[in-house]
Amino acid sequence: MFVSKNLDINEKGNLTIGGVDTIALAKEYGTPLYVMDENLIRENCRSFKDSIEKFYNSEGLVCYASKAFCCKEICRIMKDEGIGLDVVSGGELFTAINVDFPTEKICFHGNNKTEDELTLALSYGVGRIIVDNIYELERLDKLAKKLHKKASVMFRVKPGIDAHTHNFIMTGQIDSKFGFALETGEAFEAVKRAITLENIIVKGLHCHIGSQIFDIDPFELAAKVMLEFIAKISKELSYNISELNLGGGFGIKYLPEHDPVHYETYMERVSIVVKQTCKELDIKQPFILFEPGRSIVGPAGITLYTVGAVKEIPNVRTYISVDGGMSDNPRYALYQSEYDVEIANKAFEEKAMKVTVAGKCCESGDLIGENLPIQNAETGDILAVLATGAYNYSMSSNYNRILKPAVAMVKNGKSKIIVKRETLDDIIRNDI
């Protein structure tokens, strides 16, 4: 019925998440409000972790891509579930450090890490620094020498794979700001240089072909291409690459008609390619890492808004305005992301209207979606946007000096705040 299995309708006709009434949540905590379901997050973590154990004989690590949604409570959950962490900034790394996350299980990404960020990573013993360019490699070597450390690195490689997704979230092709190109020889030369550096330990290779991918074929092809590169390094440089990070990008269900492949199927299919290719190339199977983010937290979250003005333009469209918008969900403005929406207090009713959901920011493009089927919407209703657990809170801003919403977590029929709602004092806190 709904895009996420943790959603339902109670006896009052209200939408529930994790068994908790969304109208009660809106009343208790206010709107806009992000709501996350802890049980589903943990279930998704275990699905990936179990797949590593099943298909790779536990010779692998799942690293949650914290850019999808990062806060101290999420890092605590990942720590508790035995999941690694993928961070892309000093802020994400600092958040993990503050909950005593095991740094040996952290992968530090980013195409332009600062000296301060690299120093922080080295100082806390981050397990894998994913090197994006030759400038970063040389800089890291110098910093490691200065700090009397050895930097364990992986190289981000562009395998030249078409991921069949939005251009803005394709990252595996040659024309990308990320990584070393494989087909030009750039990646090979980088590895060749790195193994000569005194303060660098080359642990592995990394690739990430894109996000919100429904097809399995691109993941299979990426695995094959990367293993062939490992074989080339072994043959021509006599160096053993012991780890391979195949990234993330697994698609989730945003609309009822979406039919993503179950995560375990992704993992099984790719594992078959990994095993067969290693055998064909006569190389040792590397330690395998994956970096799911959206697929862990996306389905577990919703966003609640209060409906304000309802504006019907005859023979054109009907706008319903909500008390949030692109400041808490910029994804439609960025890449026309699709969502399913519900009037949470009328979830049992038929979706008889088609509307454009507009935010409150002073931008014509501040929309949640257009031509969306929805129940009859009236001022004061609670609107729920589904599957917003990923890339909503993490991409939020204070545009128009709008306050960032709170984040509530539900579990076993109860709720708590894990990120406080911003206040007006927060908005001016750094002003001088």
Q: What is the DSSP letter of 381?
A: P
| Residue partners of 423: CB distance under 8 A and separation at least 6 | 403
Q: At what angle do helices 90-97 and 72-80 cross, to 10 degrees?
A: 60
Q: How many CB atoms lie within 10 A of CB 6?
A: 21
Question: Degrees (nearest 5) of the Cα angle 51, 80, 73?
Answer: 115
Closest by CA position to 49, among listed 79, 92, 14: 79
Q: In 81-169, where does DSSP find H-type helix? A: 90-97, 115-123, 134-146
Q: Taking the alpha carbons of 425, 426, 429, 431 in that order, is the dihedral positive or negative?
A: negative
Token reading at 378? 């009236």
Check: CB of residue 254 under 8 Å from CB of residue 338.
Answer: yes
Check: CB of residue 269 under 8 Å from CB of residue 220.
Answer: yes
The verdict on whether 362 is a catalytic residue reads yes
* 349 phi and psi angles, rounded to 5 deg: -85, 160
Distances in Å between the Cα of 67 and the Cα atoms of 64, 257, 292, 323, 385 are: 9, 27, 10, 25, 20
Calpha distance 162→144 (Å, rounded) = 36
Given 63, 71, 278, 362, the catalytic residue:
362
Q: Which amino acid is at 174?
A: I
Q: At what angle do helices 263-281 and 38-55 cross, to 10 degrees?
A: 20
Which residues are tagged catalytic?
362
